[in-house]
A and B are shown apart, each in its own frame.
Chain A
Amino acid sequence: MFDAKLLLIGFLQALFVLLLAPFFAGLSRVLRAKMHSRKGPPLFQYYYDIIKLMKRQEVRPAQATWVFRATPYIIMVSTLLIATLIPMWVLQSPFGIIGDMILVIYLFAMVRFFLAVSGFDSGSGFAQIGVARELALGILVEPTIMLVLFIVALFAGSTNLGAMSEMIALGKISYATPAIWLGMAAFAVATFIETGKLPFDLAEAEQEVQEGPLTEYSGPGLALVKWGLFMKQVVVASLFVAIFFPFGSAVVPGFLGVLGAAVLFFLKLICYYVILAVVENSVARLTLFGSPRITWVALGIALLSFVFYLVQI
């Protein structure tokens, strides 16, 4: 059942996400600056920040318990595991034998859950406001993600992420199908929310609630939790790209094919971040009670895609 090559690819994907996450975060910051006609920080600024933070002394509030300290690690390990499950470079889920899309959705829930508990644990009012918003958004966005993935899975006959992207890559599920492109649109909105970018930057709204759940983190803890959240953004983007744009991924895991696919995937992610930056910089932040309107629309699109799926049959 174990395929050594696939396992290796899985680990490499995890490393890819780990090492490039601050790059992508920096990229979106640079793009933002450019759109504001500012010079902006260097592309690799986040690496410098993280390394510097790691050397700093950690200050914790007296209220905090072990949960507060463990959360950065929990966020990191669960996103690393998600990275191994997404079919980024090959048309199979590298660790597909240990889990499917439901595991991925609940690993995201795990990140959210522990981030929320740690926000509570810090005892800071700002963290708790951020936590409440993060969780409320989760309630609004998770149904959309589940519905879209469920429809694609029904097309593919399997909830394995690899099988789903393979079906799209091999053209067995046609893009002409309205169910697919509507689902894609709904999923795109959902990923925007999951990445926590404007207009959905509610939980960690820097100007408003002082980065929400991160308020009390400092030093190495802050470095890891920030890094973990950058990684989460990358895996969310990867999930979207891997399922709906799997072209160019290696069908058989060979060295050159995978290398090419990895480079291509990197470029696809850059495209995603550019589009994300355009959206992010052309809108203002939604209020918490304004965001349901958008998420209900996303859910509506997902439901429409579902209706088209039904009509097909």
Chain B
Amino acid sequence: MGAQELLLLAVFLYVAGAVAALIFNGSGKFANYLTGLSAFAASLAGIASALLVLTAGAGFRLDAPGWIPFTRFTLEVDQLSAFMVLVISFLVAAVSLYSLSYLDEYTRKNPGVLGFFINIFIASMILVVTVGNGFYFLIFWEIMTLVSYFLVVYEQNREALRAGFLYFLVAHAGAALIMLSFIILFLTTGSFDFAVFRTAKLTPVLSSVLFVLAFVGFSAKAGAVPLHFWLPEAHSVAPSNVSALLSGVMIKTAIYGIIRVCMDFLGAGDWWWGFLVLLIGIVSAVLGMIYALTQHDLKRLLAFSSIENIGIILMGVGVGMLGLALNKPLLVGLGLLAGLYHLLNHATFKGLLFLGAGSVIYRAHTRNLEELGGLAKVMPLTAFIFLVGATSIAAIPPLNGFVSKWFVYQSLFTLGIEGGFADKVFVPLFAMLLAMTGALTAMCFVKAYGTTFTGSFRSDHAEKAREVPFPMLLGKAILGLGCLVFGLGAPLIAPRIVAVVAGLLDTPAVPVSAAFFVFPGDAAQAALSTPLVAVLLIGFLVLPLLLLVLYGGAGVGSRLDATPWACGYRYIPQMTYSSHAFAQPLQIIFRPFYLFSATLQEFGLTAGAYFSTRVAYLVQVEDMWEKFIGRPLARGVQGLGSLIQFLQMGNVRLYCTYIIVALVILLVTIRL
């Protein structure tokens, strides 16, 4: 089978699995297996198809007969699409195996419906990144948003409904802007085909307008600051396997959109385009992490860190766009390489971390970090794999997160050398902020791992937990292996991604690797060899071991102490640092970003003779973005809704009048 048939097969399997799951909704576990196995098979077909396209270096195009006069259904898979299909399918492969057991939680909550939504959601993402026509792109985009909305509100509790509403609102505000940009392209070119969009002759002003519309529209979906406030809400309330897909790949389809529209269609633009993307990127990275640190809900923490990573990806894309504007192929190649590499890596480790969080919830039934703790003793494998994900995301060499961050730094550095004066002014500052983000990430994931898995059990839930079933471990292990392979395999992967970029923009491929090394275009500027870093790190183990053999006492061994030392007092688990306490220094250092308020309330009750009053310490951390952007937006939409409510009175005769009026208007316009 060729790449085309495989891709169609994949889509068919997703849809067939979805329908089958819906049919067998009543049969509990069977529906779960249908969902999981069909998605797994489909993801394998998707991976095969994408690999065929990527190795052959040439894509394909499938035209379907047009049902609608002004548009036709086209699948157009170039290397970028294939890359996205690969990333989505890879994560889906792991998530679908994981779901086989994880969905047990939902066997009584309409498993078939959940399975239907999940599979349709995945299929719509695959179609969004492969479709070659603006009209159908918008349709699939909308299906993706709607289906993911249903997944977000699946738990049907107050929290989920609120999150879903916010998500629905922002996603549609973004979709409206994207729609507007496509309509403008349609009006100027007379076609919805991407192939025609590419050749559009646009005035610079119109081009800039399109850029702003598309960028703002897509960045709302990507969760970039300042339109990020929906993301932590939505990603934390969805079922964890869905969260992995939402954070791992759905927000990346928006990155795909940005690259497709702002670079592929519009081509080289003004300097400020790339700069805006870069700026939004670094702001998202810093703020996302600052907020992530103060979360006490494991999944919200992970969701906030997705904002950070989207920021890092946008930084790479921004450098690429600057390169396009400055006509420097080296910058284009490096920037997009950094962005796309981080996109792949983030899908891997964030998927892994969400699946890890799902495992914790599956066993301990809480997401609250204050109630977890000590799980590494009862879930050692989950803990280990989670730690791999945490080290990757904290960019610890030689794992994958480090490699892509290295490329981001290198692309910034190259921009600092090759760019204009304004670039030179900002690039070192961005690098500095990125370093700060790195340190924040390390702290955040030490907290995430530490408060969840180490120390003592802080609640009964945690104590009763045990290791998760094999399929859930397998799903995570695949991604954990991915973290290692995408890190050590950098010299093989980086040139492939560069080929994707070169194919997309018709630029010469930037040399980035030789033998075991990667380098940013020029080996004299810098070089990195993750395989050798790994070899040396392991090799140097000889020295401390040798010292132990030489000087260590024979046979004294080690013994376990019942509890850690507590200054002579009896040790209790409450003595360990809680998630609040851990983040407190940061709340003080970065106070302006938090709208942080702490008050001491006196209850006026007496508690014993010596303590006259009882006081309570209230800490409130508010997201200023939601307060100043999210809530006004929600209020505005609700206000607008009630304003035009009079149109919809529930009166059938009135509706008939509407239909007639619409008909008349249509007839008149066609006549004209």
A interface list, Cβ under 8 A from B: 1, 14, 18, 50-51, 54-63, 65, 67, 72-73, 76-78, 80-81, 84, 95-100, 102-103, 105-107, 109-110, 112-113, 116-117, 120-129, 131-133, 135-136, 138-140, 142-147, 150-151, 153-154, 157-160, 163, 210, 215-216, 219-220, 224, 288-289, 292, 302, 306, 309-310, 313
Q: How far is the CA of A288 from the CA of B588 in the complex (A)?
A: 10
Cβ–Cβ contact A98 & B529, under 8 A: yes
Q: List 12 A-B contacts (CB under 8 A).
A: A57-B553, A65-B376, A65-B383, A65-B454, A97-B532, A98-B536, A102-B405, A109-B396, A139-B440, A147-B429, A216-B564, A313-B424
Chain B positions within 8 Å of A127 at CB level: 564
Cβ–Cβ contact B526 & A158, under 8 A: yes
Cβ–Cβ contact B450 & A116, under 8 A: yes
Q: Determine how close the nearest CB of chain B comes to the CB of A54; give it in whole angstroms.
A: 4
Cβ–Cβ contact A147 & B431, under 8 A: yes
Chain A positions within 8 Å of B536 at CB level: 77, 81, 84, 95, 98
Cβ–Cβ contact B525 & A124, under 8 A: no
Q: How far is the CA of A81 from the CA of B110 in the complex (A)?
A: 54
B227 within 8 A of A: no
B421 within 8 A of A: yes
Cβ–Cβ contact A103 & B406, under 8 A: yes
Cβ–Cβ contact B524 & A160, under 8 A: yes
Q: Determine how close the nearest CB of chain A comes to the CB of B112; give it in whole angstroms.
A: 40
Chain B positions within 8 Å of A142 at CB level: 435-436, 438-439
Question: Which B residues, 35 to 57, have Cβ-Cβ distances below 8 Å to chain A?
Answer: none
Contact among A121, A129, A132, A220 with B455 in the assembled complex (CB-CB below 8 Å): A121
Contact among B397, B548, B557 with A57 in the assembled complex (CB-CB below 8 Å): B557
Contact among A56, A120, A136, A138 with B556 in the assembled complex (CB-CB below 8 Å): A56
Chain B positions within 8 Å of A63 at CB level: 374, 377, 454-456, 563-564
Q: Determine how close the nearest CB of chain A comes to the CB of B585; give it in whole angstroms.
A: 4
B409 within 8 A of A: yes
Main secondary structure of the interface of B (DSSP, over half): helix
Cβ–Cβ contact A96 & B527, under 8 A: yes
Known contacts A58-B557, A97-B527, A124-B565; is A146 also within 8 Å of B435 by CB?
A: yes
Name the CB-closest residue of B to A125: B575
B503 within 8 A of A: no
Q: How far is the CA of A228 from the CA of B18 in the complex (A)?
A: 55
Name the CB-closest residue of A to B436: A143
Known contacts A106-B396, A150-B431, A154-B416; is A216 also within 8 Å of B540 by CB?
A: no
Cβ–Cβ contact A117 & B387, under 8 A: yes
Chain A positions within 8 Å of B395 at CB level: 106, 109
Cβ–Cβ contact A61 & B564, under 8 A: yes
Chain B positions within 8 Å of A126 at CB level: 565, 567
Name the CB-closest residue of B to A135: B443
Chain B positions within 8 Å of A124 at CB level: 564-566, 576
Cβ–Cβ contact B537 & A78, under 8 A: yes
Cβ–Cβ contact A61 & B560, under 8 A: yes
Cβ–Cβ contact A102 & B377, under 8 A: no
Contact among A1, A84, A96 with B515 in the assembled complex (CB-CB below 8 Å): A1
Cβ–Cβ contact A159 & B374, under 8 A: no
Cβ–Cβ contact B425 & A310, under 8 A: yes
Q: How far is the CA of A13 from the CA of B406 in the complex (A)?
A: 25
B561 within 8 A of A: yes
Name the CB-closest residue of A to B581: A132
Sorting the interface of chain B by its residue count into under 10, 10 to 19, 20 to 34 or 35 or more gives 35 or more
Q: Determine how close the nearest CB of chain A comes to the CB of B279; give it in whole angstroms.
A: 17
Chain B positions within 8 Å of A145 at CB level: 435
Known contacts A113-B442, A125-B577, A142-B435; is A58 also within 8 Å of B558 by CB?
A: yes
B562 within 8 A of A: yes
Name the CB-closest residue of A to B455: A123
Cβ–Cβ contact A313 & B450, under 8 A: no
Chain A positions within 8 Å of B589 at CB level: 136, 139-140, 289, 292
Cβ–Cβ contact A125 & B548, under 8 A: no
Cβ–Cβ contact B551 & A109, under 8 A: no
Name the CB-closest residue of B to A157: B417
> What is the 8 Å Cβ interface bit string for chain B, positions 564-599, against chain A (1 contact, 0 not)?
111100000001110001101110110000000000
Cβ–Cβ contact B424 & A310, under 8 A: yes
Chain B positions within 8 Å of A289 at CB level: 585, 588-589
Cβ–Cβ contact A73 & B527, under 8 A: no
Contact among B394, B544, B563 with A224 in the assembled complex (CB-CB below 8 Å): B544
Q: Determine how close the nearest CB of chain B comes to the CB of A211; give it in whole angstroms.
A: 11
B24 within 8 A of A: no
Q: How far is the CA of A128 from the CA of B651 in the complex (A)?
A: 66
> What is the 8 Å Cβ interface bit string for chain B, positions 513-524, against chain A (1 contact, 0 not)?
011010000001
Cβ–Cβ contact A81 & B533, under 8 A: yes
Q: How far is the CA of A281 from the CA of B443 in the complex (A)?
A: 30
Known contacts A123-B456, A142-B436; is A110 also within 8 Å of B450 by CB?
A: no
Cβ–Cβ contact B543 & A18, under 8 A: yes
Question: Which B residues, 499 to 518, have Cβ-Cβ distances below 8 Å to chain A?
Answer: 514-515, 517
Q: Determine how close the nearest CB of chain B comes to the CB of A161; give it in whole angstroms.
A: 10
Q: How far is the CA of A100 from the CA of B526 in the complex (A)?
A: 6
Chain A positions within 8 Å of B396 at CB level: 106, 109-110, 113
Nearest first, the 5 closest Cβ-Cβ pairs linking A and B are A120-B450, A55-B553, A146-B435, A128-B577, A58-B558
Q: How far is the CA of A72 from the CA of B442 in the complex (A)?
A: 18
Chain B positions within 8 Å of A65 at CB level: 376-377, 380, 383, 454
> What is the 8 Å Cβ interface bit string for chain B, positions 366-404, against chain A (1 contact, 0 not)?
000000001011001001000100010011110000100
B552 within 8 A of A: yes
Cβ–Cβ contact A143 & B443, under 8 A: no
Q: Determine how close the nearest CB of chain A comes to the CB of B398; give it in whole angstroms.
A: 9
Cβ–Cβ contact A147 & B576, under 8 A: no
Cβ–Cβ contact B450 & A147, under 8 A: no
Chain A positions within 8 Å of B147 at CB level: none
